Chain A
Amino acid sequence: MAKKKFVVGCFDDEAVLFPAVKKVRTAGYKIHDVYTPFAVHGLDHAMGLRETSLHTAGFIYGITGTTTALSCISWIFTKDWPLNIGGKPHFALPAWVPITFELTVLFAAVGMVLTFCYLCQLAPFVKKHHFHARATDDLFVMVIECTDKTNTEDLKGFLASNGAIETDIQIAEEGWWLGHYDKDEMRFEAKQTVAA
């Protein structure tokens, strides 16, 4: 895959990040992504991302579970092998409620987690480019995609004037690939030795 050029700005406070996101968008830059150490509520709206439909998928998986349970059990107990249990009806719906419920939950949960992993491209051994090692610790890392016309120095200055404590330019792969993280340069260690 093609590599792209990005300008990276790091913020240490979400209160500074929000207005910066607004300004960067108004200035017409394309925000590739903002990497945060925790879920910052409202950031998705500020960045103009659409709502996720994951819960709808969950609902569909759930009703799939319900129908699977009901159709299988009723076919088994009324058609395939009707068991006479104390002369009670073969089609014993109330007795099937527990299993139907459990399968609904099971299908919804497993389906949603798999969909989540698929959408976010998450799996063991998957490797992605990390713009900053502290993005999972205490920094909010805004990554802006550059075009041919982008003046990167201007953009860096613009980010700094909006509160970014660190800015740099990176050329990186957008997608994911298989690999190990231990081959990364260890920024964090370097930072620690400086501190110590």
Chain B
Amino acid sequence: MHLKYESQLREPLVYGDKNYHQVTEDIVRPIEAKPTRLWYVGFYIAVCLLLFGVYAIYRDVTYGIGQWNLNKTVGWGWDITNFVWWVGIGHAGTLISAILLLFRQGWRTGVNRAAEAMTIFAVMCAGQFPIWHMGRVWMAFFVLPYPNSRGPLWVNFNSPLLWDVFAISTYFTVSLLFWYSGLLPDFATIRDRAFTKLRKRLYGVAAFGWTGSTKHWQRHESLSLVLAGLSTPLVLSVHTIVSFDFATSVIPGWHTTIFPPYFVAGAIFSGFAMVQTLMLMIRKIFSMEDYITVGHIEAMNKVIVLTGSIVGVAYLTELFMGWYSQNKYEGYTFWYSRANLFSPYGWSYWGMMACNVLSPQIFWFRKMRRNLFVTFFMSIIVNIGMWFERFVIIVTSLYRDYLPSSWSVYYSPTIWEIGFYAGTFGLFFTCFFLFAKYFPVIAIAEIKYVLKTTGEGYKGRMEGIEGEKLESFVHEHAH
């Protein structure tokens, strides 16, 4: 049964001559085995960071966000930088699971599950920043449009900040549904092979009673496809709307029409970098080298070099427009506050340039794309660079406003701003460690589906088909 033919020229996506049962065994093994010491150490560090973050937030609520160093002109600092950074990271998962599904990219199957999980956790981290930035967080429900006793005084539907509320919450919900509906069959797999009562019961509840009926699979396929179709514009809309937070303002450096595509490319760029960081760890810790192959890593590095270059073009376009517009405020922001290495924040601009534009160019070389150490190192560099980008956009546009008398203040974060950020790392990795231990990190059913066309052990057997005529192929194999 070869409903899909794949050329011999393509690398196998699953190494080794495996059968369906071995796929199950390989992927479920970490769930059924005791966690390794490395897992405990990582989880412990993550929980410690999380607790520190919780304490930082406790202080934010108790003393107010005055304990941050935000000031009169820099009203957004680390908080919104981190928000945009996390949201950006949260773009890779749905891009991999939705857009690459529509583009029929077979390699997505190995990495989509973990990437989607990462997306969900990253969006959870992102959401923390605007929520706690509100200061009086017990009023957070004011962002919801509901008939209230204050008039009713509604939220402002024309405001990009409200669009953001809708965009992020929709994105989170849809990503979660997409992820969980894909998990149902895999939970059922774990349930049916469980040999402890507790595991059988818990995965039984989580699997919603999935049986694998053909009709259910047919609906499941339809559901995944439509959810992918819905998520594709959704992914693009989310960071577009985040960019509107800036682009619809009249602040020099923010007030640009290039922002939506530039932000979306940057989001994919940083998201893939984070996926690389996590995938390299997962394949090493859980010995998933047969499923997350060097081919997968290379494919993602190609996306990184493409999106990194798009981001680079956007940076240069901004600089050009700063001069070409002959608007002195724009020119000042781009050419003095940012591109001048010796201005107070010049280091952040050039840090961003070095990390995001220059260094990913090494991925034009196949050897570098397939080198795991280089990939891991670069994935960290890219994420640092993308953090710098958001910092540059936010702080260098704000710290010198139209009133020179307020220029003297140099914004740097307090320990509680840093603690909050560290806390979101704790949240992210706590969730991710739990995910890696208790969830199938690779979509078992999807791997089985592509196994016979892209598995190493099966590809050789397709040579005969290569010689067949199209008509006889269709006659023989298509039902």
Contact = CB atoms under 8 A, between A and B. Distances in A.
B154 A81 contact: yes
Given A39-B220, A138-B20, A122 B173 contact: no
Looking at B1, B197, B221, B445, the one whose CB has the most chain A CB atoms below 10 A away is: B1
A159 B170 CA distance: 49
B201 A182 contact: yes
B273 interface: no
Interface string B389-415: 000000000000000000000000000
Looking at B158, B185, B191, B200, the one whose CB has the most chain A CB atoms below 10 A away is: B158
Given A80-B152, A109-B177, A184 B230 contact: no
Interface residues of B, number: 74
B137 to A, nearest CB: 23
A125 B220 CA distance: 20
A27 interface: no
B445 A39 contact: yes
B206 interface: yes
Looking at B21, B145, B204, B220, the one whose CB has the most chain A CB atoms below 10 A away is: B204
A20 interface: no
A42 B204 contact: no
B157 A35 contact: no
A113 B181 contact: yes
Contacts of A43: 214, 217
Contacts of B205: 124-125
B33 to A, nearest CB: 14
20 contacts: A36-B212, A39-B218, A44-B218, A47-B214, A54-B219, A80-B152, A81-B151, A81-B152, A83-B154, A101-B233, A102-B166, A106-B173, A120-B219, A125-B205, A136-B211, A137-B189, A180-B204, A181-B201, A184-B200, A186-B194
Interface of B: 1, 3, 19-21, 24, 145, 151-154, 156-158, 160, 162-163, 166-167, 170, 173-174, 177-178, 181, 184-185, 188-189, 191-195, 197-198, 200-201, 203-206, 208-223, 225-227, 230-231, 233-234, 237, 241, 244, 445-446, 448-449, 478-479
Interface of A: 13-15, 18, 33-47, 49, 51-52, 54-55, 58, 62, 72-73, 76-77, 80-81, 83, 85, 88, 92, 95-96, 98-99, 101-103, 105-106, 108-110, 112-113, 116-117, 119-128, 130, 133-138, 141, 176, 180-182, 184, 186, 188-189, 192
